[in-house]
Chains A and B, each alone.
Chain A
């Protein structure tokens, strides 16, 4: 039983982590593409149109990857989490079916038109199809977040005698207090990833002394949008989410912040340190007193319940993983604001294109928003443990009753192998596209 749950969780974690590499770029990039296309319509300068088409090419590669790694996500609810699907399908099936209906159809219909239809449609319609692709990809995020929000903070349901969750209030799924902050935080995080990627490609072109004109455009767009989105990520959206966790999942909040003992006169905020689960303390701790209470409740002496206030069964079952995920996300977010502020400062001083160390730093920064996005999701998902539906349905009660651990390990190994091949192809193709540059693409 234990190893069945372990392999089911590992397979889901592995496949969703790999899958989420792609949508986080496409969601943010679609916004940037729409911006370039709009600039082109206003200014009629060819480089903006080239930029839009160049990133659309990168978008298309990511979209394909997203589709083929996304289908297994939907299937896995049934294959590996059958009991969960049976009990909650009439609720989360709503939002997942709506994603197919309102987002995938929109996105896939107009993506083909955007890529192939520029000459057939004319510029204004071409802009419009780009905008619809953007709308479709953000709608997808909305429905997935609505699904996840219900698992984090279930609303609009009743539980029948046979244990099934049934919907009794459809609109509650979308007015869920968990949803809007999580959606905004997630979408802005996607914008961070894509603006860092755009800036990184720009820095690469400038350093390589090739496609300089595009390099400057990409870098400028990337760092300005990167700074704005990094700041919005921390405040207000990150702040809202943390307050939601403190309010609705206090045990997870204690675990992710690493508070082992309740402090009567206000909690400290832990910056660095390693959770020691045996002695129930943080090793090598660097912390600032009372800040956590202030940030969460705007009161320096507000008492925040620590892990000592909760029963073991209510606490997330992997506290260190949760704590690290959360701290990596927050730490990286802080670094992003720092570097992007510096970059925007030098852009304003008209020196940015000549400061090589900073350009190198920006070029190599692009993997880190991916890490921050994924650790952010780990924070949400590990924090929800040991539940699938918070407080109501345990993870161990959601797996498929008939699938043996041997079968799951077999398919997990298959996914690992196949996804390694996919990842390799992906890198080769994106590398080739960037190498060719915006002027020499064949569309």
Chain B
């Protein structure tokens, strides 16, 4: 039952990163590559129409995590207190940027909210990546100092950074050079994803240029990925053991790398949806590979005194998980219906649509 819920939540989280990921990416592209007002307008709109229904996936993932793995939820949310609250603030800045930019037809007003949208999208992508980096690297569970736990074994508190920014020091902070690299990878992945979304959903004048941008970003991504894997081996020499023990898990990294390689051929792809499918697979592969490498651990301990958090020692009881599975199935069927309806009515290029304004 724990495994069921682990998979469900992983899927919901992956969908969140795929959906809200493209609108983070749109923000990054908007910040650096959109120059003409007409492009800015339509690019912002390609995120603005969808962000709130995308962000609902975060709320859903949060709620399910709370219900299924309450100990993990409590530990991680209080342990990463500051970065999480900062993420909340960025989410607010991004949303008001998107919603308010078109409210007044004044250039200064628009520029201000465009920057708010772009910069907070960039920082959010970075922070979500850093969060993933922290989960993979592990934390000092129990706040162990001199072999004595300061808190109960499943609690911890991380400062934003420590003096050396090193993942190898005894008490690493949230931001160190390993998590920064994972953060950068996330920024690049989401920028690629956002560019592909713009190509799919708009007829903006920079669509051709964006394909070149994707190519450049893809080279960066390949280098960063290889680099991060190397560092990961140094931090945690056992990080690939799961793939050796359970070889079928290797499908996830294969998805990631195939999508990465596929994106090098972006200029040859005829249909606008193909690049977007590839970057979707890229995100899916990246998240599932990270989780598969740790399974069943969901938060490694960096000390030897307190054991890592796993899906088994943080889960709710059997009965609760079972009832939730029942209503969860009903909920997902309903959701699927809504998505089909929405897709039928709001598919296609947004700047060619008649909304009846």
Contact = CB atoms under 8 A, between A and B. Distances in A.
A64 B96 CA distance: 8
A154 B265 CA distance: 59
Given A97-B67, A109-B341, A90 B62 contact: no
Interface string B74-102: 11111101101100110110011001100
A67 B52 contact: yes
A102 B56 CA distance: 11
Contacts of B335: 101, 105
Interface in A82-121: 82-83, 85-94, 96-102, 104-106, 108-113, 116-121
Given A71-B59, A109-B342, A90 B357 contact: no
Interface in B324-357: 324, 327-328, 331-332, 334-335, 338-339, 341-342, 345-346, 354-357
- Helix, strand, loop or mixed for chain B's interface? helix
Contacts of B76: 78
A158 B225 CA distance: 48
Nearest to A417: B89
A442 interface: yes
- Helix, strand, loop or mixed for chain A's interface? helix
Interface string A377-410: 0000000000000000000000011111001001
Contacts of A98: 63, 327, 331
A402 B70 contact: no
A170 B79 CA distance: 30
A41 interface: no
A116 B77 contact: no
A89 B70 contact: yes
A11 to B, nearest CB: 10
Interface stretch (B150-158, B176-184, B215-223, B300-308): B150-158
Given A86-B71, A96-B67, A402-B155, A118 B59 contact: no
B96 A422 contact: yes
B73 interface: yes
B160 to A, nearest CB: 10
A106 B342 CA distance: 11
B259 to A, nearest CB: 27
Contacts of B355: 116-117, 119-120, 443
A61 B103 CA distance: 11
A168 interface: yes
B66 A89 contact: yes
Contact of A167 (B95, B103, B319, B342): B319
B75 A82 contact: yes
Interface in A47-93: 61, 63-64, 67-72, 74-75, 77-80, 82-83, 85-93
A101 to B, nearest CB: 4
Given A93-B68, A93-B70, A97-B66, A403 B60 contact: no
A74 B63 contact: yes
Interface residues of A, number: 69
A411 B96 contact: no
A432 interface: yes
B317 interface: yes
A74 B67 CA distance: 12
Contact of B74 (A86, A104, A108, A112): A86
B341 A407 contact: no
B156 A108 contact: no
A425 interface: yes
B64 interface: yes
B258 interface: no
Contact of A442 (B68, B339, B357): B357
B287 to A, nearest CB: 19
Contacts of A425: 96, 100
Interface string B226-245: 00000000000000000000
Given A100-B59, A116-B346, A403-B157, A68 B74 contact: no
B148 interface: no
A85 B77 contact: yes
B59 to A, nearest CB: 5
B118 to A, nearest CB: 17
A91 B156 CA distance: 24
B53 interface: yes
A418 interface: yes
Contacts of B73: 77-78, 85-86, 89, 93
A132 B119 CA distance: 35
B63 A97 contact: yes
A412 B143 CA distance: 25
B215 to A, nearest CB: 33
A68 B59 contact: no
Contact of A110 (B327, B338, B357): B338
Interface string B199-229: 0000000000000000000000000000000
B316 interface: yes
B58 interface: yes
Contact of B103 (A96, A404, A432): A432
A166 interface: yes
A88 to B, nearest CB: 8
Given A78-B77, A78-B78, A92-B66, 11 more contacts: A90-B70, A94-B67, A100-B64, A101-B328, A112-B52, A166-B319, A170-B320, A400-B74, A402-B79, A402-B155, A407-B82
Which 4 A-B pairs give the minimum distances between C-beta atoms?
Answer: A78-B77, A89-B70, A93-B67, A119-B356
12 contacts: A72-B85, A75-B62, A78-B62, A78-B77, A89-B74, A90-B70, A93-B64, A93-B67, A93-B70, A101-B328, A105-B331, A400-B81
